[in-house]
Structure 1
Amino acid sequence: MDTVATSDEVDARGALPVDIDWSVAASVAKKVARPGPRVTRYTSEQAREELAEAAVRAEGPVREVTGLADGLRVPSARVVDRAGWIDAASNSMPAMLADESEPATGWSAKLSGVQAGGMLAFLSSAILGQYDPFSLDPETGEPGVLLLVAPNIIGVERQLRVVPADFRYWVCLHEVTHRVQFSANPWITGYMRDTIADLAAGDEDSVAQILARVTESVRSGKPREKGVIGLMQLLQSPEQFAAFERMLMLGTLLEGHADHVMDAVGPTHVPTVETIRKAFDARRTGPQNPLQKLIRTLIGMDAKIAQYVRGKAFVDEVVEKVGMERFNTIWTSPETLPLPGEIDDPSAWITRVL
């Protein structure tokens, strides 16, 4: 969950090359990342304690509403600062990319590391929380770590002028939903890794091949997706774009489901939830300066906002029509996930799957 939209840098990750020196990326990111809001030691420690407690407390209501992960242990969350998030992200990327070779150290990898470091620096100030299914929990040695970035949460709650305790718990509801999704359905992690591998597979297309796709698209007059998604459609091979669409549909489902759960749990457990939701949505869609807008577009964050909106509308309608128990059929396998044409037509998914 981030200040404009969640977790996960799914959109940006698929575009990253595997040959990256992640130690360089982490070092660069920590040097150029903006400092967080100024807080006293007391405020910092209080926020950390509150977030850690809220992450545990949110698990029960989320499991009750979703009907998922019942009986599994309730893990703790890691509350980190921006540097801590950068370290965690740079350590998890090789695992996510299924890169089991020796760490890349050549000049090309270092240059890519500098570029990736710039992206991590920007994201480190935007991410509120993130569930990382690829990293190992240091407490249990099992995969899956929930990260909460305390300075970013404090910064946003101040800007929105909302009740800190309510906002922190509200953020935890979203991120804990992601943890529940992956804990109850371990196959999703492997599906994500395989899809990312498909994105990175194959030789780079030549400029001539890309230009040929652009020319064919213009000549055919066929409708094409707008924005970043349309650009990916032109730049990627058909096989890579199919993998990109699979990743996009999964991300849209995960984010929409988490937003649905937040709104289902919120009225009972978060006294000021209406104020928080209104202020947060206004922030998501509010104006940004040109540089921020450019960066957001380049790393896919604008497309991610659409994931929240489209995904939540899909989940809301399906749950309203068939109930949460039947909706949970969606977590059975890759074949029961929504197809691109079904996200905006939930009845089509109900007809095909249920």
Structure 2
Amino acid sequence: MQVIDWDLAVTTGTRLVRPGPQVSREEARQAVAELRTLSREAEGHVREFTRIHTETAPQVATIVDRPGWIKANVEGFRVVLEPLTQRVSSSANPPPAIVSAVGSRITGVEVGAVLAFLATRVLGQYELFLPPDPTGREPAGRLTLVAPNIVNAERELNVNPHDFRLWVCLHEETHRVQFTGVSWLREYVRSQMTEFLLASDLDLPTLVDRLRGAADTVADVVRGGEGNLIDVIQSPHQKEILDRLTAVMTLVEGHGDFVMDAVGPSVVPSVAQIRAKFAQRREGGSKLDRTIRRLLGIDLKMKQYAEGAAFVRKVVGQAGMDGFNRVWTSPNTLPTPAEISDPDAWVRRVIGTPALPN
């Protein structure tokens, strides 16, 4: 049984997504070539600075346009949601076929619309979940950069294109280094996401209550409230799991921001100007744009960058990079949500009395 009509999600997303900035064929070719080159350059800077090493061979970043990003994310969603799909299919009381068919199409349109919105904003990402490679030779993850969004952002910000592209690559390459250099991290995130999905309350009355709550949240956010749909549709057990997921993603996102800004001054001459302008851009947008960001929890993600970067800065300042890297020892050494806000507590629990910074 299909929970989401994935083909319809792709069709809807690619139909609704706005076109990228106007560029000539030569400008597009140059941007793609430079992003591939800079992703390799950035990886070297990141590995040297973070002291995270991996046996994984360097891979050139995959450069996509907005429709390409939508298609790639649908592939990832299918992999992530497979456990939930299997559970629904094997349920003793599956929903009627007509309900499943209609529901999957409605959900497919909704997913496509959300992806169309996000596809104009994402600069890049490390794709953790790819369809399995039958040969076993392809890497388990993939670094993707969205060329039209990077070009659009550098134009809007009026910053040096080469510097901005390298700055973006530093952040995204940090994620590749994290998930290829820390052997257990990908499986930990995957298992938490699977547990989150399988903790869903799938009975009809509960779903109706959740949908009613979601409608109330939409109305509240439009009036200026602070709610988001992610909080509304969770069960209590899912909230516990999401706390763990939020903590680890705050860590990896904050680590990415910390690295890009720490490495930046030595390789990105205009990094201070870029950071200042980019911070303003994150907070900007129309009222509709800000409303949608709140509903989807994107504003929470922006908060993650700041909180995670503050945690990393404080720990590195106290214990040096090698002391901070003990965070990657096992799931037990990851910071809790409380420790993200109180780095000293993490240092006491994991390191004890830290050594002087390197």
**Interval of TM-score (by shorter of Structure 1 and Structure 2):** 0.7 to 0.9
1:55–1:173: structure 2 CA closer, same or farther, 3 Å change rule?
A: same
Task: Trace 1:172-251 onto structure 2 (pairs within 5 A).
Answer: 172-200=169-197, 201-204=199-202, 206=205, 227-228=226-227, 236-251=234-249
2:311 to 295, 314, 317: 314
Cα distance in 2 for residues equivalent to 1:301 and 1:144: 23
Counterpart residue number, 2:220: none
2:267 to 266, 269, 274: 269
Deviation at 1:247, TM superposition (A): 1.1
Q: Unpaired runs of 5+ in structure 1?
A: 1-17, 215-225
SS of 2:122 mapped into structure 1: coil
Cα distance in 1 for residues equivalent to 2:35 and 2:148: 11
Tell me if the contact between 2:200 and 2:234 (Cα under 8 Å) persists in the aligned partners.
Answer: no
Counterpart residue number, 1:93: 77
Tell me if the contact between 1:210 and 1:234 (Cα under 8 Å) persists in the aligned partners.
Answer: no
Counterpart residue number, 1:29: 13
1:321–1:22: structure 2 CA closer, same or farther, 3 Å change rule?
A: same
Cα distance in 2 for residues equivalent to 1:192 and 1:106: 31
For structure 1, which segment, 132-141 or 258-267, has the greater mean C-alpha deviation from structure 2 after superposition?
A: 132-141
Cα distance in 1 for residues equivalent to 2:113 and 2:279: 27
Counterpart residue number, 1:19: 3
Counterpart residue number, 2:355: none
SS of 1:79 mapped into structure 2: strand
Counterpart residue number, 2:125: 130
Tell me if the contact between 2:201 and 2:235 (Cα under 8 Å) persists in the aligned partners.
Answer: no
Deviation at 1:184, TM superposition (A): 0.7
Deviation at 1:71, TM superposition (A): 4.7
Q: Larger helix proportion, structure 1 or 2?
A: 2
Cα distance in 1 for residues equivalent to 2:233 and 2:346: 29
Task: Give the count of matched residue pairs.
Answer: 322
Q: Aligned pair 1:68/2:52, yes or no? A: yes
Tell me if the contact between 1:136 and 1:144 (Cα under 8 Å) persists in the aligned partners.
Answer: no
Cα distance in 1 for residues equivalent to 2:302 and 2:289: 14
SS of 2:341 mapped into structure 1: coil
1:234–1:89: structure 2 CA closer, same or farther, 3 Å change rule?
A: closer
Deviation at 1:312, TM superposition (A): 0.3
Cα distance in 1 for residues equivalent to 2:167 and 2:74: 27
Cα distance in 2 for residues equivalent to 1:294 and 1:148: 26
TM-score (normalised: structure 1): 0.85
For structure 1, which segment, 236-245 or 90-99, has the greater mean C-alpha deviation from structure 2 after superposition?
A: 90-99
1:208–1:39: structure 2 CA closer, same or farther, 3 Å change rule?
A: closer
1:102–1:351: structure 2 CA closer, same or farther, 3 Å change rule?
A: closer
Which amino acid in the other structure matches residue 66 of structure 2?
R
SS of 1:343 mapped into structure 2: helix
Tell me if the contact between 1:137 and 1:144 (Cα under 8 Å) persists in the aligned partners.
Answer: no
1:83–1:234: structure 2 CA closer, same or farther, 3 Å change rule?
A: closer
Counterpart residue number, 1:351: 348
Cα distance in 2 for residues equivalent to 1:209 and 1:29: 26
SS of 1:304 mapped into structure 2: helix
Cα distance in 2 for residues equivalent to 1:256 and 1:284: 15
Cα distance in 1 for residues equivalent to 2:59 and 2:29: 20
Q: Aligned pair 1:282/2:266, yes or no? A: no
Counterpart residue number, 1:119: 114
1:96–1:232: structure 2 CA closer, same or farther, 3 Å change rule?
A: closer
Tell me if the contact between 2:128 and 2:141 (Cα under 8 Å) persists in the aligned partners.
Answer: yes
SS of 1:146 mapped into structure 2: strand
SS of 1:130 mapped into structure 2: strand
Deviation at 1:180, TM superposition (A): 0.3
1:68–1:137: structure 2 CA closer, same or farther, 3 Å change rule?
A: farther
Deviation at 1:69, TM superposition (A): 2.2
Cα distance in 2 for residues equivalent to 1:102 and 1:316: 42
1:103–1:37: structure 2 CA closer, same or farther, 3 Å change rule?
A: farther
Deviation at 1:141, TM superposition (A): 1.4
